Amino acid sequence: MGAILTTERLTKNFGGLTAVNDVSFSLEQGEILGLIGPNGAGKTTLINLISGAFPPSKGAILFEGRDITRDKAHTINTLGIARTFQVVRIFSRLTALENVLAAMVDRGRKGPWSLVWDSFFRRACALTEDKEACATADGLLEFVGISRYRDEQAGNMPYALTKRLEIARALATQPKLLLLDEPSSGLNPAELTGQIDLIQKINAQGTSILIIEHVMKVIMGISHRLIVLHYGEKIAEGEPEKVYNDPLVVEAYLGGDSDAQH
């Protein structure tokens, strides 16, 4: 199948702190790749680098063979990478439907002035009256299971469901690669099962996924492969079972560090 995303010796320094250190990995087409590691291991920083929130200090990122190392976040999204956030970043004063509608605009082709033009010379008077667009958005809300909150202000939705709204919004940009930053944090066990199903459903439709997760039940259940970060470095990679029993990984998690023992 070949790799859809490759990072080459990716490094990010924040002042004296090296958050991500020399990380190289590939994500295969159609794969769910799990990214784990103790708190502060640099997982979110790695996703921020890939999604273009900030540029790396060193190294390169290739997406479908194209160098996206220096591209801005919005460009990277139009190329086909969407993401969710560890702490949700939904549009709280828009309705759930509008959150998804905002993401459906073909922004690779349409800039602000062409949208201004559209607002005067479009069939539908308002976006929420555009039946075709609303049908697509409704389909996505249905897909993630939050249809009943369609016209609710996103800021008033239960937390667990805003995480799903964020996924629906990300899917609305029709990504080839989806970056999920702790989609299960703050969910109860019942909600967890639903979340696992949802992620597998998305993957089944052909979307490759890079997922950060602390909940072992989730990450072991759905990842095809795992990468382990520790202090910004990649310390293990491979099949979930193998990685899980890797002594280096166990040490990282349980703190069998020689410094700590002294």
Partner 1 sequence: MSARLRKILLWAAALVALFLVPHVVEDRYFMHIVVMAGIFTILTLSWNLLAGYTGQLNLGHAAFYGIGAYTSAILAMQTGLSPWLGLFAGGLVAAFFGLLLGFPALRLSGPYLAITTIGFAEILRLVAMNWVDLTRGSLGLSGVPLLTPIKIGDFTMQFYFERDYYYVVVAAVLFTLFCIRRLIGSEFGVTLQAMRDDEAGAQSIGINPSSYKLAVFTISAFFAGFAGGLFAHFARLVSPELLALHNTFDVLTMTMIGGLGTIAGPILGAVTLTFLSEALRYMEEVIKIDIRLIVYGLLLILTILFMREGLVGVIKNSWARMKGGR
Interacting residues with partner 1 (CB under 8 A): 51-53, 72-75, 77-78, 82-83, 85, 89-94, 98-99, 101-103, 105, 107-108, 110-113, 115-116, 118-120, 122, 125-128, 169-170, 172-173
**Which one, 167 or 252, has the nearer CB to partner 1?**
167
**Which one, 13 or 153, has the nearer CB to partner 1?**
153
Residue 210 near residue 35, CB atoms below 8 Å: yes
The least distance separating partner 1 from the CB of residue 237, rounded to whole angstroms, comes to: 27
**How many other C-beta atoms lie within 10 A of the C-beta of residue 215?**
17
**Which one, 41 or 172, has the nearer CB to partner 1?**
172
The least distance separating partner 1 from the CB of residue 101, rounded to whole angstroms, comes to: 6
The least distance separating partner 1 from the CB of residue 97, rounded to whole angstroms, comes to: 10
The least distance separating partner 1 from the CB of residue 110, rounded to whole angstroms, comes to: 8
* Cα–Cα distance measured from residue 183 to residue 159, given in angstroms and rounded to the nearest whole number: 11
**Which one, 21 or 95, has the nearer CB to partner 1?**
95
Q: Which two tokens stand for residue 168?
A: 């629906």
* Cα–Cα distance measured from residue 219 to residue 226, given in angstroms and rounded to the nearest whole number: 8
The least distance separating partner 1 from the CB of residue 82, rounded to whole angstroms, comes to: 7
* Cα–Cα distance measured from residue 234 to residue 253, given in angstroms and rounded to the nearest whole number: 14
**Which one, 14 or 54, has the nearer CB to partner 1?**
54
